[in-house]
A and B are shown apart, each in its own frame.
Chain A
Amino acid sequence: DSGVTQTPKHLITATGQRVTLRCSPRSGDLSVYWYQQSLDQGLQFLIQYYNGEERAKGNILERFSAQQFPDLHSELNLSSLELGDSALYFCASSSNKRQSYTFGSGTRLTVV
């Protein structure tokens, strides 16, 4: 157990739908990062939050949005889902020292 909790572990939904992925960071970590990993691909950085505020944006589609709440958990919202959005979505967290990222076990999203 890495200390980063992601729910749900698996999600199957239809095209056009909207889903919410949830991440609880490791205790004490203020930064949360979201990554997308398509089949046999690398980790594509989506977005970072630090203590409730957006810090950095990567290749995140306009249909996707995220937020970090006062208790530091984060949610990634994916809307108007397309088949190509099927992927593993990872959340990672880090402390102020930023010496490494700790990843959760991911949410596997399947859009049918």
Chain B
Amino acid sequence: GQQLNQSPQSMFIQEGEDVSMNCTSSSIFNTWLWYKQEPGEGPVLLIALYKAGELTSNGRLTAQFGITRKDSFLNISASIPSDVGIYFCAGLYGQNFVFGPGTRLSVLP
């Protein structure tokens, strides 16, 4: 099946730093989603991207739909402790979404 790669796998950053993570594939996707999962909870949708090249912000979060349609990027500016969690990307392939393995973010005070 289709596979998404996320990097980095995990990251430890200092509070106040900016964060960048990405999601790549060898296949073309028509929609990209970014989810955040906090410990013991279900993933919550952060940003949805529907067009190649689209750049969308949600507060301190900004995500981009890559022009090749094979990748997407998520940036978090001025990180805070509550940004801790696992960030999943998901790409729409055919009629269903494929999820990446996640990037685990830890924020050190």
Contacts and interface: CB of A to CB of B under 8 A. Distances in A.
A56 B41 contact: no
Interface string A64-77: 00000000000000
Given A42-B88, A42-B99, A99 B41 contact: no
Interface in A73-112: 88, 90, 92, 98-106, 108
Given A100-B45, A105-B42, A106-B42, A42 B96 contact: no
A98 B42 contact: no
Interface of B: prevailing SS:
strand
Nearest to B96: A56
Given A2-B42, A106-B42, A100 B48 contact: yes
Contacts, number: 49
A90 B35 CA distance: 14
Name the interface size band of chain B. Answer: 20 to 34
B90 A101 contact: yes
Nearest to B1: A58
A98 B97 CA distance: 9
A90 B101 CA distance: 15
A14 to B, nearest CB: 23
A92 B88 CA distance: 15
Contact of A103 (B42, B48, B50): B42
A100 B42 contact: no
Interface string B93-109: 00111011110100000
B1 to A, nearest CB: 8
Contacts of B88: 42-43
A2 B50 CA distance: 22
A99 B42 contact: no
Interface of B: 31, 33, 35, 40-45, 48, 50, 88, 90, 92, 95-97, 99-102, 104
Closest A-B pairs by Cβ, 5 of them: A103-B42, A42-B101, A105-B42, A43-B99, A103-B43
6 contacts: A33-B96, A43-B43, A98-B96, A100-B45, A102-B45, A106-B41
